[in-house]
A and B are shown apart, each in its own frame.
Chain A
Amino acid sequence: MQTLRWAIRAARGVGAATAVFLLLACEPRTAPVVASSANAIESLRPAEAGLAEKYERSCMTCHIDAASGAPRTRDTLAWSRRAVTERGALILSVQKGFNAMPPMGLCPDCSREDLGALIDFMRGVQP
């Protein structure tokens, strides 16, 4: 199936006040078949029970589905592409909220340590 792609190419060399747009329906898209509902990512949990409970009711809401725009759990590439990658800065992003993630990331009872551990778990790194 093809999907809508309004591909725009601003013609270079044309006058600065004039933009030339090409509306192209392009990128024939091969429908990628996604794994069934019980995929591997959904079954991952932090080892510590309390943290696993917080992860399940908070982080999983977005971080297991790429459609959310949030980096998926254990998707190291997606996590490495974040503008912020330093642990302390990531914790601060959660505390303050970032894009569609509200302050505290749907985990109002998470401590700073909890947030750090959850981030470490999701991006698959050791603190």
Chain B
Amino acid sequence: MSRRTRRLVLKTALATGMGVGVASLHGAQKAASVPVSAASTTTPTAAPATGASATSANTNTWRNWSGIHTCQPNSWQVPATVDALADLLRQAPGPIRCVGAGHSFTALVPTAGTLFSLDRLSGITAHSDTQATLGAGTRLQVANRQLDAKGLALYNLPDIDAQTLAGAMATATHGTGVKFGALHTDLLGLTLMTPKGELLQCSPNQRADVFAAAQVSLGALGVLTEMTLRVRPSFHLQRKVWLAKTQDLLDQAPALAERHRQFELYLLPFTGYGAAITHDEVPIGAVQRVAAADEDVLRDLRLLRDWLGRWPGLRRWVAQRAIDPDQTENMRDLSWKLLTSQRPTRFNESEGHVPRESGITCLREVLETLERRNEVFFPIEFRYTKADQAWLSPFHGRDSCSIAAHALQGEAHDYLVQELGPVFRRHGARPHWGKLHNYSPAELRALYPQWKRFAELRRELDPQGRMLTPYMKRLLGES
């Protein structure tokens, strides 16, 4: 799911009594749960590599946010300095992997070798009015807070702010807005430590090839230690949320995306409605907020599914009479307060990035496909992202629309890949690197014009493949 809000507004007068025996679909969903796919579970807690400034974690079990991937690395290191990182990196047993918030749904992280957390390489180290240099382990929320304390802000943000900067860049994390690229397009420079412990300073003017590859690297080139980002003075956004019929929103979406600083759309399956969200910059003024009700809405949609899921016609009939499209919601606050959200309800997710001109058509087909499955209830997310030139950016060379579908954690989610995959492929989608997909190396090679150059550079920087976890080997087609 994504940004806060999905707040459905209902007519208070509605009181529909149904003397219908409704068998809970929820039980069926439980039975259809996909088992946890444990990845690497190998040697528990070996003696950690130590150094004066390194601290070993006191548990070696790692699990991703949604709980579908877990591993027990040989060691989990949390270096406090770049020098300590270099020492550890030179001698650490592979496969070596950096981990951030664990918000990816693909098996990028699991390793039986060495995990690195960059949490101690965190915080702003330098800044001006237009740029800021931060440790690569800085979590987005920390970055936002520290920048705000200096009167600064990032231009755009993704929905979740728990990720480290390094993790967000590695997977091409994005927000929405036709005038805004993904987070990595705000990179002005970065420092990459190769698996040999060498530091490479990169920017569009210095080692430009390495920069273009390292902007979105899947963590395969080495370890990012520091990055300089484009920033601007703090600013307020006005958010408006409203409900409308799906057809109307699909018709209006392209114009809304052009008219507003940021626009995103959530289609609510089996309701015939969707929620539109816009953000526009306003002068800094009084904060206007209402308490987030996302979890209430999600729970309500789930209950509607549980009780009426077997009767999609009835489910839709009830929803259409319950939703009040006249209600809207307005909020005003600092940009980072509105653009990011908390997501206590865990889920698994797949997302395809399609050429912008195919966005609405693909979205229609995704909705149609998902509404063949009565268990679906999560809103379908639709966002816009501007083109960029990073080699492995899913937005490389094309303005894009991103379409994301979700399944509740613990419930079946294979269909997100098996049934949406063909839809996404028909429209030339590139998969989100951190979200569920089953694209083959051959398919990816065809979708990314710089795939070969990235592979060559990766081999040059890491000839022994120490940064390649089992999943990364399969993904990149490396034996």
Q: In chain B, what residue has the closest Cβ to A65?
A: B342
Residues on the B chain within 8 Å of A58, using CB: 119
A26 to B288 Cα, complex, angstroms: 24
Residues on the A chain within 8 Å of B26, using CB: none
Q: In chain A, what residue has the closest Cβ to B333?
A: A37
Residues on the B chain within 8 Å of A109, using CB: 55-57, 78, 117, 119-120
B78 near A6: Cβ-Cβ < 8 Å? no
B119 near A21: Cβ-Cβ < 8 Å? no
Q: In chain B, what residue has the closest Cβ to A70?
A: B344
A24-B15, A37-B333 known; A100-B296 Cβ under 8 A? no
A23-B18, A109-B57 known; A31-B290 Cβ under 8 A? yes
Interface membership of B346, Cβ < 8 A: yes
A4 near B296: Cβ-Cβ < 8 Å? yes
Interface membership of A83, Cβ < 8 A: no
Instruction: Give residues 1-43 of B contacting A (CB, 8 Å).
Output: 4, 7-22
* Nearest chain B CB to A98 CB, angstrom units: 11
B9 near A56: Cβ-Cβ < 8 Å? no
B117 near A108: Cβ-Cβ < 8 Å? yes
Residues on the B chain within 8 Å of A99, using CB: 344, 346
Q: In chain B, what residue has the closest Cβ to A33?
A: B289
Interface membership of A19, Cβ < 8 A: yes
* Nearest chain A CB to B289 CB, angstrom units: 4
Residues on the B chain within 8 Å of A28, using CB: 12
Interface size on A, residues (CB 8 A): 54
A23 near B16: Cβ-Cβ < 8 Å? yes
Interface membership of B412, Cβ < 8 A: no
B59 near A103: Cβ-Cβ < 8 Å? yes
A112 near B162: Cβ-Cβ < 8 Å? no
B295 near A67: Cβ-Cβ < 8 Å? yes
A20 near B337: Cβ-Cβ < 8 Å? no
A3-B9, A68-B342, A109-B120 known; A57-B139 Cβ under 8 A? yes
Chain A binder among B61-69, B204-212, B356-364, B455-463: B61-69
Instruction: Give residues 112-165 of B contacting A (CB, 8 Å).
Output: 117, 119-120, 122, 138-139, 141-142, 145, 148, 161-162
Q: In chain A, what residue has the closest Cβ to B304?
A: A6
B120 near A33: Cβ-Cβ < 8 Å? no
Q: In chain A, what residue has the closest Cβ to B122?
A: A57
A2 near B327: Cβ-Cβ < 8 Å? yes
A1 to B240 Cα, complex, angstroms: 13
Interface membership of A104, Cβ < 8 A: yes
B4 near A67: Cβ-Cβ < 8 Å? yes
Q: B282-297 CB contact bits vs A (8 Å, 1 = yes)?
A: 0000011111111111
A2 to B334 Cα, complex, angstroms: 24
Q: In chain B, what residue has the closest Cβ to A62?
A: B342
Interface membership of B341, Cβ < 8 A: yes
Interface membership of A117, Cβ < 8 A: no
Residues on the A chain within 8 Å of B138, using CB: 57
B18 near A67: Cβ-Cβ < 8 Å? no
A37-B333, A104-B57 known; A8-B21 Cβ under 8 A? no
B290 near A32: Cβ-Cβ < 8 Å? yes
Interface membership of A5, Cβ < 8 A: yes
Q: A48-85 CB contact bits vs B (8 Å, 1 = yes)?
A: 00000000111011100111111000000000000000
B17 near A8: Cβ-Cβ < 8 Å? no
B59 near A4: Cβ-Cβ < 8 Å? no
Residues on the A chain within 8 Å of B322, using CB: 4, 6, 23, 25
Interface membership of B188, Cβ < 8 A: no
A34 to B287 Cα, complex, angstroms: 9
Residues on the B chain within 8 Å of A104, using CB: 57-59
Residues on the A chain within 8 Å of B337, using CB: 37
A37-B148, A58-B119 known; A2-B12 Cβ under 8 A? yes
Residues on the B chain within 8 Å of A124, using CB: none
Interface membership of A88, Cβ < 8 A: no
A21 near B288: Cβ-Cβ < 8 Å? no
* Nearest chain B CB to A44 CB, angstrom units: 13
A8 to B24 Cα, complex, angstroms: 13
A32 near B58: Cβ-Cβ < 8 Å? no
| Residue among B17, B76, B122 making CB contact with A108, cutoff 8 Å | B76
A2-B12, A6-B303, A67-B294 known; A23-B318 Cβ under 8 A? yes
* Nearest chain B CB to A110 CB, angstrom units: 8
Residues on the A chain within 8 Å of B304, using CB: 6
B21 near A17: Cβ-Cβ < 8 Å? yes
List 24 A–B pairs whose Cβ atoms lie within 8 Å, in order of A's numbering.
A2-B12, A3-B7, A4-B297, A6-B300, A19-B21, A19-B22, A20-B17, A20-B19, A21-B18, A23-B14, A24-B15, A25-B14, A34-B290, A35-B287, A37-B334, A57-B142, A61-B139, A62-B162, A62-B342, A67-B342, A68-B342, A97-B63, A102-B64, A108-B117
A contact set with B: CB distance below 8 Å:
1-6, 8, 17-26, 28-29, 31-37, 42, 56-58, 60-62, 65-70, 95-97, 99-100, 102-104, 106-112
If A4-B8, A22-B18 are given as contacts, then 18 extra A-B residue pairs at C-beta distance below 8 Å, sorted by A number, are A1-B9, A3-B7, A4-B10, A21-B18, A24-B14, A25-B10, A34-B291, A57-B122, A61-B101, A61-B161, A61-B162, A66-B291, A67-B292, A68-B342, A69-B344, A99-B346, A102-B62, A109-B78
A-B complex: 9 closest residue pairs judged by Cβ atoms = A69-B344, A25-B10, A4-B8, A108-B57, A109-B78, A68-B342, A31-B290, A109-B55, A6-B300
